[in-house]
Structure 1
Amino acid sequence: MKFSENWLREWTSPEWDTNTLSESLSLAGLEVDDVEPAAPSFSNVVVAQVVSVEKHPDADKLNITQVDTGDGELVQIVCGAPNVVAGMKVCCAKVGAVLPGDFKIKKAKLRGQPSNGMLCSTNELGLPDDGIDGLHVLPEDAPIGTDVREYFDLDDSCIDVDLTPNRADCFSVLGIARDVHAISGAQFSVPFEEKQMAGTETCSQAVVVKEAQACPKYLGAMVSGFDTNAETPVWMVQKLHRCGVRSLGLVVDITNYVLMELGQPMHAFDADKLQGDIQVRFANDGERIVTLDEKELQLKGDTLVIADDSGAIAVAGIMGGLATSVTDDTSKIFFESAHFARLAITGKARNYGLHTDSSMRFERGVDPMLPERALNRALDLFTSIAGGTVSQFVSEVSAENLPQIATINLRRDTILNRLGIEVADAQVVDIFNKLGFEIAANDQGWSVTAPSFRFDMAIEMDLIEEIGRVYGYNNLPETPVLAPMSLNELPEDEQSLIALKNTLVQRGFNEVVTYSFVAEDKQKAIAPELPYVLLKNPISEDMKAMRTTLFPGLLQSVAYNQNRQQSRVRLFEAGLVFYKDDSDATGAEQVPMLAGAIVGPVADASWHSTTRNVDFYDLKGDLESLLTMSHLQAHVRYEPTNNPALHPGQSAAIMLDGKEVGVIGQLHPQLVKTFDVNGNVFMFQIRQDAILNKQVPKASAISKFPEVQRDLAFVVQESVTVQALIDAINTVTSDILKSVDLFDIYRGQGVAEEHKSVAITLTLQHQDRTLQDEEVEALVAEILTAAKQAVNAELR
């Protein structure tokens, strides 16, 4: 919200300078982003009138003017502006004036003719561009000799306040003034006479509100017989400009002026262009409208519109339509002032790529009691400038659908507990009275009723915040905070996610944090089998789907690094994925995952060794380091999988106790171009709940008897996995078999085609005695039988 400081001081004017005012607003929760002067510094520039104009005898483009500056005698000034004519009033820099940029005006001769001053354009004074090629033309009633800074009220500051979403009541000079009055104690008064403008003639325009829940209040009035040539006064143009609003003509300027002054969005229709009754309804699917910015919209059925018999003529609370807009030829105007429910407007402007001052206010909330006041103010301004006759008001009000005013109990003890100070009862009452609240004492404190413009008041803590910010957070005493620390115990069987992350970091990984939203086409490409959730109001078109895997974000980060000459990339992310679930209140099941991706050389280049690129087993080793930390290595199995994100021949499902908890493998070659990565990217993803539980170590006595090792080489078919062979061996029940370890795989001479030799080391040991050869051989024979039966393994 940007506003003029002088305009604010018309409502309330504390004895503060601009810096103190800005600081006080920020401390009260209305953060001031910027303060800038209304105009650059210049001096000795006055309102003047050009009395006569003659051609310069020695220059075709110059004129010799005689100018009345109000000093009692005419001044000769040579001027090259193309629009200078006798009788016009202009800004004149007299001799001795200093213009922006420290440009000093002195007596001079131009082509032999004396010139005692300078006639100025807006650019030369640093004023808003008026679009005129030449001198800035002042109104005919501008008093000659008046200092231009005084005439334009240029000794002013423009203050820009960054408002939080709950303070929509401060999107107006009135709203800011109410807060300044409360925090400063300065007198507050309305700077204009509030009149009831409803006339005696019946309004010829009927209104029908079909959606009272979305539009509980709609007011309007007709104005006719006004001066169609009336222009916006200079003072209004200046105030609007200092609020960041440009002048667009009297009618639009007045609705914008009331918007900035009171905070009520309004609209004006050319009444002669309206066809039949005005209707407030939801749009028909596919209904079209051309808005004031000449953009054609195809409306959706949930969009509230203002319509007549011809169709939609305005998008309610957002923007009017071009077909019924006011023009220079308009002779009859219907002014609209309405209250629209927040939920009826929220998000609609963004759906159509629009953002207006009106939608911004209605989305955050507008005082439901304001439309009457705003309509009277707009009509008063219009008729005082352009004249005309005002009709009776047409009114449609649904009291039961208007926002209800909240009444909240405020306890003295809560003030002390939350703010750490005892605020006197009289001061509490005074604070809320200044803020416009109704307050009545009760046994524990007060019963406080919020005004209609403070729809953000809902609970007791909202009232505590009001006391704190008006009392002044900087006035609160410094009190040591007593906060006994209670550290949660980490059960011994629970693994720390931080410890797992540190393990990956120690293995050369870097953590990334990516958006939970991904492009819909990439979501479909990498996980086509999983239903996903679409956002109703995405940040952008390529962030509209909730991710069902962490892979898209990781791959985007890989591509980002590769595009910056980083060939060796090792990244991981811990975050949520979202599986569509209509039975859940949120519409999705949220599952914490841990994922990683590697690509490029195994290690950085070195003088003493050549390097190779990473492969499947490098990443499998990184994953197994995490499984080992949680003592899960012996329980995890890797089974072939056809995951659409991974290479069919280099991918595996991670199985834990017979349940799939993750996947690992190489990115599918068809997706390399989709995600704009280079080389073979290897990735894994595993559920966090699968690795955040670990086995508690159990102590056992160490055997003092020697181990016995037997090496066995099995010949199996190529399709048999090593894990299947080891599982077959482990089916043999024995209290002396301690471990089964793979130490070699051989293919070639001596082994039949489509077969392989798998060499296994068996480690055997008894706890209480030395093993005998007979029992070792018996166990080995049992193992050979189990391997033969399970996977048709033959001893080589």
Structure 2
Amino acid sequence: MKIIAQQLLEYFKNKPKVSELSERLFQLGHEHELNKGIFDFEITPNRGDCLSLKGLARDLNYFYKAEIEKPIFTKKIQKLNLNFKNKTKDLCPNISFLEVEIVGKTKPYKNYLENYFKSLKINKNNFFTDISNYLAYESGQPTHCFDAEKMNGIFALEKNKKKSKFLTLLNEEIEIEKNDLVFTLDGKVISLAGVMGGASTACGKNTYKVLIECAYFKPEEILGQARKYNLNSEAAYKFERGVDFLGQENVLRRFIKIIDDHAEIKSLKFISENKKNNTKSVPYDSKKLNEIIGCDINEKEQKAILSSLGFINGKKVAVPAHRSDIDQINDLAEEITRVVGYNNIPSKALKLPVKAKNLNRSFELICRNYLVNNGFFEVINFPFNDNNDESAIVVDNPLDKQRAKMRVCLTKSLKDNLVYNQNRQKDSIKFFEFSDIYTKLGVSRKLSLIVSGRINKNHKEFNSMLDYGYLKGLLKTIFNETMNVALTFSSSSSENYDFRETIMIKGTNIGRIGKLSKNFLKSKVKTPVYSFEIDIDSLSVPSQRYIGISDYPASYRDMSYSLENLDILKNLEKKIEKNVKSFKLLQEAFVFDYFDNKKLNILKVGYRFKFQSSTKSPTDREIDEIMKKINKDTLSIKGIKIEGL
């Protein structure tokens, strides 16, 4: 959001320097950049009230005594007889309409209006739409202008009854889905409510009579609608974060005043429907506030700060209609602390126990290094989401009301990461995440991994796809190499998976693996997606033992085995592994030669045996005795011959 610094300064009696104003804004938590007199803000999702000149001036009121309210039209307005039906009063409880007709030509824009377009390099459209855009910038409340001459018919706000083609005022055709909130005229969609109007009723340069709509929509209803249809909508951005549900009439009276500054008004008509009038209140306790803040601020100062922000003081603090994010005393403490300044609160020494560094081998560290070396990327996701799991912990004062619960699994977050990358044409995706999961049952450490697309981007693996076999093999390898244990799998089911298996170690369930369903993914890309998630709390890596290096030389024996078929090789491997464990002098045995001629039906395997002792040099007699026992044991397998014997 961009704000002209000079226009913000005009709200204050005590005008500071722009640099000082910038410092105060940072103190209040409004991150921004300042370039050539323009503030470029990143406003947090819970502070929709600050998405305007008025909102920022109100936040700075304590420091500079702001004149927050701009001149409005104060005379009585004739009632508007409008054939309008609000069929969704639960989603839009407050809505107002203003009909204005002007005569003659409009005057050149006054400085406050002209500077908005010039300084922010915004294109002008037409008289009424220009005022609507400026007013959203000034007050934070979006309005929409319909050409009144095109509004003949039954006008309604309702849920869309079926999929409908809709031409936006930007002349982009979209297909609006069933049950989306829309304005209709004689049953035909003319506006996607809270997001964007349509070309059929849009104002033009020759529009002299306009119907202006100003409403409060339930934020959850507008959330995601602009992204859903790939529309760039400042209105939706504001409605998603919540607007002042009692401010519609004041905004429309300000609209009239701006019109009056630039044109001759022939007629004015107004109608309003308000079902949501009750504001919230929070119990006030100065002592409790100081305990939360961590310092002593006298009651008079506390109330002065709250009053400057628009709160009404009493035994309970009345929360203004523009502050939808305030629910409890912790929120009041945050408001006071922002104004006081976190840096101005005296620090206190915090005694923490010193924890010795753990030098034990960590499954997480070994696994992380292994995955990175195999082309995976580690991600770190926000620990909150909107899951409906009963075990999820609800946050009392969330930064974003759409992320008010602690997540209960990592797979959903990784899925969102994957879909984001798929939509940007990434054709080889390999992500993993380690994180703690907090539920009502306790805390657990999880590892989740997700793959889709090509195995790698090289000439050998470009045409090979990441599949279930790859993921399952990867998981088996990790556990075999880090813990020397074998995993077992059993079939299970879930609505989020096309197929799924439970992962177990020695009969204990540690997680799940499977192919994610398209309904869960909600991705435009059809490439299959595979994922696993495991609990790693109980996993421990065996400590490595130090094995000394012998000072005595090693001796080797080579043995060539002829096999009737490849199936016999597994039995041979088991026999030799058994013998390696049986004789201390035999250090290792491995295949050093392999010959397979299917035409001549010849299959030969060459094994090399290494003999070594840490106390002496092995003798030929000792080695021969062991080799005799090995040969006797291996020849007991049917279908094996030893060349030369």
**TM-score normalized with structure 2 length:** 0.69
Alignment correspondent of 2:71: 192
Q: Distance in 2 between matches of 1:490 and 1:626?
A: 22
Q: From the superposition, tell whether residues 337 and 414 of structure 1 become closer, same or farther in structure 2 (CA, over 3 Å).
A: closer
Cα distance between partner residues in 1 of 2:511 and 2:195: 49
Q: How does 1:644-659 map to 2 (within 5 A)?
A: none
Whole-Å separation in 2 of the counterparts to 1:793 and 1:6 = 92
Provide closer, same or farther for how the CA distance between residues 717 and 212 of structure 1 changes in structure 2, counting only shifts above 3 A: farther
Aligned to 2:355: 487
Instruction: Give the AA of the match of 1:26.
Output: F
- Map of 1:342 onto structure 2: 219
Tell me which residue corresponds to 1:95.
none
Shift of 1:295: 1.5
Identity across the alignment (%): 22
How big is each residue's C-alpha offset from its partner over 1:508-566, in whole Å with a ceiling of 9 and x where there is no partner? Answer: x697637799xxxxxxxxxxxx9999759954663489xxxxx9246xxxxxxxxxxxx
Q: Does 1:591 align with 2:458?
A: no
Q: Is the 8 A contact 2:97 2:211 kept in 1?
A: yes
CA distance in 1, matches of 2:624, 2:2: 95
Q: Which runs of 5+ in 1 are unaligned?
A: 37-156, 442-446, 518-529, 546-550, 555-572, 578-588, 602-621, 638-654, 664-684
1:211 Cα shift? 1.9
Q: Which amino acid aligns with 2:227?
A: R
Q: CA deviation at 1:288?
A: 1.8
Shift of 1:760: 5.0
- Measure the CA separation in 2 of the matches of 1:296 and 1:599: 41
1:600–1:295: structure 2 CA closer, same or farther, 3 Å change rule?
closer
| TM-aligned CA deviation for residue 274 of structure 1 | 1.5
Contact 1:221 1:390 in 2 (8 A): yes
Note if contact 1:178-1:435 (Cα within 8 Å) is conserved in structure 2: yes
How many corresponding residue pairs?
Answer: 545
- Please give the alpha-carbon distance, in whole angstroms, between the structure 1 residues aligned to 2:235 and 2:278: 19
Q: Deviation at 1:309?
A: 0.3
TM-superposition CA deviations, 1:703-749 (whole Å, max 9, x none): 9xx99987643221452475542224456898547665125325389
The answer as to 2:320 corresponding to 1:457 is no
Q: What code does the residue aligned with 1:174 have?
A: K
In 1, the alpha carbon distance for the partners of 2:173 and 2:549 equals 83
Taking a change above 3 Å as real, the CA distance of residues 516 and 448 of structure 1, as seen in their structure-2 partners, is closer
SS class of match (2:105): coil
Give 2:113's aligned amino acid.
Answer: V
Residue of structure 1 aligned with 2:95, choices 198, 208, 218? 218
Q: CA offset at residue 366 of structure 1?
A: 0.9
SS at structure 2 position matched to 1:259: helix
In 2, the alpha carbon distance for the partners of 1:233 and 1:784 equals 99
2:24 is matched with 24
Q: Structure 2 CA distance, aligned partners of 1:531 and 1:11?
A: 45
Question: Which among 270, 280, 283 is matched to residue 147 of structure 2?
Answer: 270
Identify if the C-alpha distance between structure 1 residues 627 and 727 changes in structure 2 by more than 3 Å, giving closer, same or farther: same
C-alpha spacing 1:409/1:594, structure 2 compared with 1 (3 Å): farther
Deviations 1:125-148 (A, max 9, x none): xxxxxxxxxxxxxxxxxxxxxxxx
The aligned counterpart of 1:87 is none
**After the TM superposition, which residues 670-749 of structure 1 pair with which residues of structure 2 at under 5 Å, given as runs?**
693-696=540-543, 712-717=559-564, 719-720=566-567, 722-730=569-577, 736=583, 741-747=589-595
1:249 alignment counterpart: 126
Report if the CA contact (8 A) 2:195-2:233 is conserved: yes
Measured on the aligned residues, the alpha-carbon RMSD in Å equals 5.1
Q: In the alignment, is the contact (CA less than 8 A) between 2:97 and 2:212 conserved in 1?
A: yes
The alpha-carbon deviation at position 248 of structure 1 amounts to: 2.9
The alpha-carbon deviation at position 13 of structure 1 amounts to 2.6
Distance in 2 (CA, whole Å) between partners of 1:502 and 1:537 is 21
What is the match of residue 233 of structure 1? 109
State the match for 1:291 in structure 2. 168
CA contact (8 A) 1:715 1:793 kept: yes
Match of 1:756 among 587, 604, 626: 604
Question: 1:102-149: CA deviations, max 9, x gaps?
Answer: xxxxxxxxxxxxxxxxxxxxxxxxxxxxxxxxxxxxxxxxxxxxxxxx
Partner of 1:120: none
What is the letter of the counterpart of residue 91 of structure 2?
A
TM-score, length-scaled by structure 1: 0.57
Report the CA distance shift for 1:598/1:762 in structure 2 as closer, same or farther (over 3 A). farther
Decide whether aligned partners of structure 1 residues 412 and 715 sit closer, same or farther in structure 2, where only a CA change above 3 A counts.
farther
Where does structure 2 lack aligned partners over 5 or more consecutive residues? 382-410, 436-445, 461-473, 488-503, 514-531
Change (3 A) 1:375 1:539: farther
In terms of Rg, which structure is larger? 1
Question: SS state of the match for residue 317, structure 1?
Answer: coil
- CA offset digits 1:666-709 (Å, max 9, x no partner): xxxxxxxxxxxxxxxxxxx9999699633346799999xx9998
The one-character-per-residue Cα deviations of 1:420-456 (angstroms, maximum 9, x if unpaired) are: 4221221111111111113335xxxxx4442111112
Q: Find the aligned partners of 1:660 and 1:729 in 2 and give their Cα distance.
A: 33
- Which range moved further: 686-695 or 339-348? 686-695
Structure 2 residue corresponding to 1:398, chosen from 275, 279, 287: 275
- How far, CA to CA, are the matches of 2:378 and 2:45 in structure 1? 26
| C-alpha distance in structure 2 between counterparts of 1:723 and 1:688, whole Å | 33
- For residues 469 and 439 of structure 1, the distance between their equivalents in structure 2, rounded to whole angstroms, comes to 18
- The range that moved more, 736-745 or 207-216, is 736-745
Separation in 2, partners of 1:499, 1:536: 24
Tell me if 1:783 matches 2:630.
Answer: no
Contact 1:497 1:692 in 2 (8 A): no
Residues 148-194 of structure 1: per-residue CA shift (max 9 Å, x gap):
xxxxxxxxx54443322222211222111111212x15253534255
